[in-house]
Structures are given as C-alpha cells and as structure tokens.
Amino acid sequence: MKETTTTTNLPQKTVERLSQYRRNLLICYATGKTNIFSHEIANILHITPVQVRRDIMLMGYSGTLRRGYDIKELIAKIGEIIDSKNSQKVCVIGAGNLGRAIISYFTGKRTKLTIVAAFDVNPDKVDRVYAGVRCYHYDRLKEIMKKEKISVGIITTPASEAAKVAENLVICGIKGILNYTPAPVNVSSHVYLEEYDMITSLEKVAYFVKQGPTPKE
C-alpha cells in the first residue's frame, strides 16, 4: 500500500514474474477480489511467498499484515514499472499458424503494447487482415517499420529464415526481438533478445514427468 522509489533496472526474471503477477491479479480482480496476500499469489504461480514479497519490494511497494496487497493498486504499480509511458508497437514476421495465433491471442490484451503489422512472403497472406492486423509483404519491412515506429519484432518464420530476419530487423532499427523459432540468432548488444523454443520447454516438462511426482515442500 505504501510506495517508495521506482526501480528501473530490475532483474530479467523479476520482470518476467511481474508480468505473470499482473496477468493473474487481473483475473482475481475481475472476480471481485480486492486484496490478496503474498502466499495466495505464490500458490497461483507455484513459487514461494518470500519470492513474491521480494519482487514486490523491489518495485518500492508494500502491503499490510492485515489485508495484504491492494490488487488494484498493485496492478497499477506493476504497469508503472514494466510498461512504457508511450505505447510501443510490435510486428510479427511470419503469418503462418503460430504467427496468426499470437496476433489473435495478444490483440486487445495490453493498451501500451500493440501488434500493428505482420509480414510474410506468401502472396495468399499478403494484404489480408488477421484479428485487425494487416499483413504486408516482407519487402515492405523497412517502410512499414519506419511509418508505424515499430520497436519490437516477433519472429515466427521457418527456422532457416530466422537469422536473416533478425539481421534485417536490426538494420531497420528494431529495439527488441522475441524469437519463437528453434534457431538461435545473434543481434547487436543494443537490441534486447528473448528466445523461446517450444521444443526445449516441452522436453523440460517431459523430463520432470519422467522423474515422477514432485515432492511437496
């Protein structure tokens, strides 16, 4: 409930968890719940209450012993920390099944982060609109990025194209890339890169399933 200072350089994992906190807090708030304790957040995300309290303290925010955290205030505080003051625009490179699914899922989820364009080389996809997002020919990447002031790119192309796409995005002035292909890419140090490999994630889950039930703490 009390605010202190705003931390601008949070650890990557903390930022990731703050996004997860907000997503679940929004669900709780929609049910009419107004306050929540750290152990309740921890149970939802399968982490420890200590970790939750540490993350929230890093934002310069605290709750009360009697009522916990004010959900509405905490949602707003997380937004202040991880959202930009001005809206950031995103593009998706590759309008295949995954690219279209990402567009459809994300549209309308955040007011300060918006997918405004998709790109593909397939003439059957160019000039079509998916969930309100127009798909342009990949040849127009630089033009549209400049026009729309796009700062974040999501790569959902075949793995063989990922490195070249990342290179072109950097040349066009991209500031951040989320790579959904299994092919690793290299970017300049001034570009933030996040790589998500679904095969690796699935293998991780399968490994722990093979190990048997997780011991209760």
CATH number for 104: 3.40.50.720
User: Cα(210)–Cα(20) distance, rounded to whole angstroms?
Assistant: 27
In a domain, 160, yes or no: yes
Q: Are residues 94 and 196 in the same domain?
A: yes
Is residue 60 domain-shared with residue 113, that is, in the same domain? Answer: no
pLDDT in tens, 192-213: 999 988 888 888 889 889 887 6
**pLDDT attached to residue 214:** 61
Do both 25 and 94 map to the same domain? Answer: no
Does 155 lie in the same domain as 73? Answer: no
Quick check: 60 pLDDT over 90? no
Average pLDDT (136-156) is 97
User: What's the pLDDT score for residue 215?
Assistant: 52
Average pLDDT, integer, range 98-105: 95
139 within domain boundaries: yes
Mean pLDDT of 28-56: 94
Tell me how many domains the chain contains.
Answer: 2
* pTM given for the model: 0.75
**In angstroms, rounded to a whole number, what is the distance separating the alpha carbons of residues 34 and 13?**
26
- With a cut of 80, say whether residue 154 has pLDDT above it: yes
Arithmetic mean of pLDDT over the chain: 90
Segments forming the whole domain that contains residue 171: 88-200
Q: Has residue 31 been placed in a domain?
A: yes
> Which amino acid appears at position 39 of this protein?
H
- Listing DSSP states for 154-191 in one string gives EE-S-HHHHHHHHHHHHHTT-SEEEE-SSS-----TTS
Whether 43 maps to a domain, the answer reads yes
Residue range 81-95: average pLDDT?
89
By percentage, how much of the chain surpasses pLDDT 70? 94
